[in-house]
Amino acid sequence: MHKKNDFLGLGIDRPEQFGNSARRQEESNRSAPPVHDCCERRSQQRRKICLEQILIDQRSSPQGQSAGLHSVKPKCEGYIPFTKMQGLGNDFVVIDAVTHDISLSTESIHKISDRHFGVGCDQILVLEPPTIEQPNVDFTYRIFNADGSEAGQCGNGIRCLAKFVAEHGLAHKRDLAFATKSCKMQTHLENDGQITVTIGNPIFEPKDIPFVAEKRALRYNLPIADCGAGFGEIEIGAVSIGNPHAVVLLEGNIADYIVALGPLISNSKHFPERVNVNFMQVLNRKQIKLRVYERGSGETLACGSGACAAVVVGRLWGLLDSMVLVKLRGGDLLIKWDEHSDNIQMTGPAEQVFNGEIILAR
C-alpha cells in the first residue's frame, strides 16, 4: 500500500513545491479529452490525404453570388469527406459540394489523384447544386482529370454520381437530370441496381468536336507525328459525346497499338483540346472489344463515353447493330443508338468502394 502522500506511486512523499502544479496538472488532465480517444477516432478514418491548399469559399465568389447561391453551407475546415467509387474499374473520388462548401485547387487535384501519395483515381467528380439558369436539372457536376484539366463528360462517372446521390439520400427518386459544362444527361436507377444514362445526340461537325478538318466526313486520315513509331496516317472516326473522341478500328491485338498510338493521337495538333482515343475490335454486329486512352489520364479500365463513341462510329461505318455489348477491360456496357434516335443510351454498374476524409493543411 502506498503512503497517503505517495508521489506518483514511487514510495516517496510528494515534494511540497510540486504540490500546487501537480494538482493543476491533474485538474487539466481531467478536463482534457483522453489522448487515446483522439487516436481511436483517427484510426477509424479510412483515408486521409494531406493537402497544402486550404479550400476556397466558393459561395462567396462573385460567380456564386450571381448564380443565386446565397444559402450558407458548412465550410469544411480541417477535413472534408469524400467517397471512392468505381464503374467497371474506372475509379473516381466523389466530393459532395451540395451539402459542403468546397472548391479544389489544381495542386489539390494532383495530390488526391496520385495513387502513391494520394487517394488515387482516374478522375475527381465534384457534385454541385444546379444554378438558377438550370431549372430542370437536379444536380450539376465537374470532372477533373488526374493532370488537373477539366473534362466535359464522363459516362462511367455519371453512373457513379447517380448511385452516390441515391445511397447518400441526396434525392429520393429513380430518375435524375445532371448537367456538366458541355451537356445534360438523364439517369435511371434500374431494379437490379444498374444505371441507365440517356445522353444527347452525338456531335459530328469538326468545329464543334473540336477537330481540325476541311469538312465533315465519316472517316478521316489523321497524320501522326513521326516520333520513330513507324506510323504515317491513321484512319479514324471523330465524334463528340460531350467530350472529343477518336475511334480507331483494329483487326489485330489492341495491346500492340494502344501504348504507341494512344498518346500520339490524343495529343495530335488536329485536336485543339486533345482527344480520347478508342481502339475498337469488332467481334460481331452485336459485340465489340474496346480499350481507351483518355486525355489527361492515360489508359483506363473503362470509359462510358468512349463506349458510346465507338458504337456510334461503328454503326455509321455499317459494322454494328443499334444495340451493342461493349467489352472493356473492367467489364461490359450495353449501348443503344441508331441514326434516327434523339439520344444514346448506356447501361452499366456503379459501386461505392469506401468513404473517407481528406486532411487539409492548416
Q: What Cα–Cα distance (Å) separates residue 140 from each residue in 134, 149, 162, 181, 197?
A: 9, 18, 11, 8, 15
The single residue of 121, 160, 303, 308 carrying the catalytic annotation is 303
CA–CA gap between residue 144 and residue 109 (Å, rounded) = 7
Is 154 marked active-site?
yes
DSSP secondary structure string, 27-90? HHHHHSPPHHHHHHHHHT-S----BSSPPP-GGGSHHHHHTT------B--SEEEEEEEEETTE
Phi-psi region of 208 (alpha: psi -120 to 50; beta: other; left: phi over 0): alpha
Angle at 324 between CA 321 and CA 326, to 5 degrees: 145
Pair 263, 290: CB distance under 8 Å: no
Neighbouring C-beta atoms of residue 330, cutoff 10 Å? 19
Neighbouring C-beta atoms of residue 342, cutoff 10 Å? 7
Residue with cell 459494322: 319
Looking at the DSSP bridge assignments, the partners of residue 288 are 282, 326
Neighbouring C-beta atoms of residue 258, cutoff 10 Å? 20
Residue 288 per-residue DSSP state: E
With 0-12 / 13-18 / 19 or more C-beta atoms within 10 angstroms meaning exposed / middle / buried, residue 302 is buried
Is 160 marked active-site?
no
CA–CA gap between residue 55 and residue 75 (Å, rounded) = 9
Pair 209, 203: CB distance under 8 Å: yes
The single residue of 76, 154, 183, 308 carrying the catalytic annotation is 154
**Catalytic residue IDs:** 154, 303
